[in-house]
Amino acid sequence: MILHELTIAELTAKLASKEVSSREAMHSCLDRIDAVDDRINAFISIDREDALGQAEAADVVLGQGANQNDQPLLGVPISLKDIFCVKNQPANCASKILGDFRSPYDGTVVQKLKEAGAVVFGRVNMDEFAMGSSTENSAFGRTCNPWDLDRVPGGSSGGCAAAVVAQECFGSIGTDTGGSIRQPSALCGCVGIKPTYGRVSRFGVIAFASSLDQVGPMARNVRDTATLLGAIAGHDSKDSTSVPIEVPDYVGGLDVNLEGIKLGLPKEFLGAGIDPEVQSVFEAALKQYEALGAEIQEVSLPHTEYGVATYYILATAEASANLARFDGIRYGDRVEGNDPFSLYCNTRGKGFGDEVKRRIILGTYVLSSGYYDAYYIRAQKVRSLIKQDFDQALSKVDALITPTVPYTAFKAGEKTDDPLQMYLSDIFTISCNLTGTCGVSLPCGFTSNPKLPVGLQLLGKPFGEQELLKIAYAYEQSTPWHKERVKL
């Protein structure tokens, strides 16, 4: 048995039977990180002592006879994107600007993970302030795709995906504002879900675009993803946008029977621009679904082509305000100036990376007097139209099915000079954030040369995570892809 290769379900069973301890599980992750992370660079920092302390505390609870039925993640090491606030731990958002900032509080997701018994450890790399699709925009260096170190892991939760696939942790929690969970899950070959907006609390998550951000888990298979989602979902009085809807038993709802399930194929997603190999892997997945009893029908999302533009107006507008607080006055790295204005300019000029600056400038511009109506207001209107498209399509089918990304992992540096090309890698994932609905990405095969994972995306109804996970699970269980382990 290679401990770090286990799924969460396998690990919790072994923890319950005392075959392994949480400390051993945590150690296996730390050893693995020591062995591979100089190549992957998924982790920005790790508080080993704290991690082992939590694991030992879990072992005490396990020793008293508790198991995963009491706490679904009891003793399971889970890593966190560098966007979550954990008390007394750094939270840099992969930016220089936060300096040696340490959060004075635990965010809700962290609290929930701890309540579920998880050993919450590590600060996992990302694009700075979650702005990017390749985890290259990080003040802590780029993260590499475990399948090909020259390639990107996707982003912005690229560190999460890479860490899960490189078996440096048993699961990871990321955030998804335009595809930031699903796109790296697809490019690295793991499962990742972006829940419905309001399903998981955003309290304690450093905001990028408040109306689009949503927290979600990434893991090696659908069941583990369901377990993690069940642990972090739920209403939170500290987040006014979280929704008081009961959290179903996601794991208990997993089922391989797809009889009567209808999947919608959005015709607008299938135009030019999809890599032929990705296309053929995707078509095979469609056939597999049909073989499992699902019915595939074409649906239309007529405003799809406006998704990226709409997103980059709204997301940057919100970001320009959300990132204003990083001003050097109260925390983070300050660069002094002769007056407050020059202090701001110096601090922010030095602290933010190029992509973050680009988006702040864009967001400031679209909100400016004289441009607001033409950009922000119009984008809000288009957002409503895209929402209507989804409502209509999802009234006819149980879920939409698309490739997650039009291509596989690209080479590092390939798109860094062409922001627009980078933005287009989110073309299939972005609408789901604009509509606030849920979406999952799961492995559906590999390209042959080089061997790179391809992701399948399922888009569901509001608060339809259970149905979505079920549809994903049935496919996963009938295919071998989730069992593929990268060789490092």
Nearer to another protein, 199 or 415 (CB): 199
User: Applying CB under 8 A, which part among 91-99, 188-196, 353-361, 394-402 lies near another protein?
Assistant: 91-99
List alpha helices for 352-464, DSSP H.
354-367, 378-396, 419-424, 430-435
Q: Which of 140, 289, 312, 376 binds another protein (CB under 8 A)?
A: 376
Contact 152, 41 (CB under 8 A): no
Query: Residue 307, interface with another protein (CB under 8 A)?
Result: no
User: Could you say whether residue 98 binds another protein (CB under 8 A)?
Assistant: yes
Residue closer to another protein (CB basis): 15 or 315: 315
Residue type, 324: A
Its sign, for the CA torsion 9, 68, 110, 49, is negative
Q: How many CB atoms lie within 10 A of CB 400?
A: 25
The reply on whether position 321 binds another protein by CB under 8 A is yes
In this complex, which beta carbon is closest to another protein, that of residue 99 or of residue 248? Answer: 99
Residues 103-162 interacting with another protein (rule: CB under 8 A) = 103-105, 107
If one asks whether residue 372 binds another protein (CB under 8 A), the answer comes out as yes
Residue 190 touches another protein, criterion: CB under 8 A = no
Q: Tell me whether residue 106 or residue 467 sits nearer to another protein (CB atom).
A: 106
430 touching another protein, by CB under 8 A: no
Binding residues for another protein restricted to 234-253, rule: CB under 8 A: 237-241
Number of residues near another protein (by CB under 8 A):
44
Q: Which stretch binds another protein (CB under 8 A): 65-73, 98-106, 398-406, 419-427?
A: 98-106
CA angle, residues 140, 142, 144, in degrees to nearest 5: 135
CA distance 423 to 139: 20
DSSP 130: G
| Residue 338 binds another protein (CB under 8 A) | no
Token code pair at residue 378? 């119009």
Our finding on whether 320 is near another protein (CB under 8 A) is yes
Cα separation of 281 and 403, whole Å?
9
β-sheet bridge partners, residue 117? none
Q: Which two tokens stand for residue 312?
A: 């980059």
Q: What span, in angstroms and rounded, lies between the C-alpha atoms of 409 and 153?
A: 7
Beta-bridged to residue 78, according to DSSP, are: 120
Q: Is 156 a catalytic residue?
A: yes
| Distance in Å, CB of 365 to another protein, minimum | 9
Task: Answer yes or no: 180 catalytic.
Answer: yes
Contacting residue, 29, 160, 186, 207, with another protein by CB under 8 A: 207
Q: Applying CB under 8 A, does 381 fall inside the site for another protein?
A: no
* Cβ-contact 445, 285 below 8 angstroms: yes
Query: Between residues 180 and 221, which has the closer beta carbon with respect to another protein?
Result: 180
Tokens at 93, concatenated = 């958002």
Q: Toward another protein, which CB reaches closer, 184 or 204?
A: 204
Residue 464's Cα: distance from chain center in Å? 18
Tell me how far, at minimum, the Cβ of 168 lies from another protein, in Å.
Answer: 24
Query: How many other CB atoms sit within 10 Å of the CB of residue 358?
Result: 15
Q: Choosing from 156, 185, 242, 431, which is the catalytic residue?
A: 156
243-268 burial code (b ≥16 CB/10 A, e <16): eeeebbebbeebeeebeebebbbbeb
Q: Which of 331, 333, 414, 416 binds another protein (CB under 8 A)?
A: 331
Residue 90 phi, psi (nearest 5): -65, 155
> Is 422 near another protein (CB under 8 A)?
no
Cβ-based nearer residue to another protein, 330 or 487: 330
Stretch of 120-128, 318-326, 396-404, 424-432 contacting another protein, by CB under 8 A: 318-326
- Of 172 and 175, nearer to another protein (C-beta) is 175
Give CA–CA dist 385/344, Å, rounded: 38
| Helix, coil or strand: residue 453 | strand
Q: Identify the active-site residue in 21, 22, 81, 157.
A: 81
91 near another protein, rule: CB under 8 A: yes
Helix segments in 268-330, DSSP class H: 276-291, 307-322
84 near another protein (CB under 8 A)? yes
Residue 240 bears catalytic tag: no
130 token code pair = 């979650």
Is 45 a binder of another protein (CB under 8 A)?
A: no
In contact, 319 and 359? CB cutoff 8 Å: yes
User: Given candidates 88, 297, 342, 368, which one binds another protein under the rule CB under 8 A?
Assistant: 368
Which one of residues 170, 289, 312, 344 is an interface residue with another protein (CB under 8 A)?
344
- Distance of closest approach, residue 204 Cβ to another protein, in angstroms: 5
Q: DSSP secondary-structure letter at 71? A: S
Nearest residue to 465 (alpha-carbon basis) of 176, 289, 253, 210: 253
Residues at the site binding another protein, with contacts judged by CB under 8 A: 84-85, 91, 93, 98, 101, 103-105, 107, 202-207, 209-211, 237-241, 317-318, 320-321, 324-327, 329-331, 340-341, 344, 364, 367-369, 372, 376
Active-site residue list: 81, 156, 180
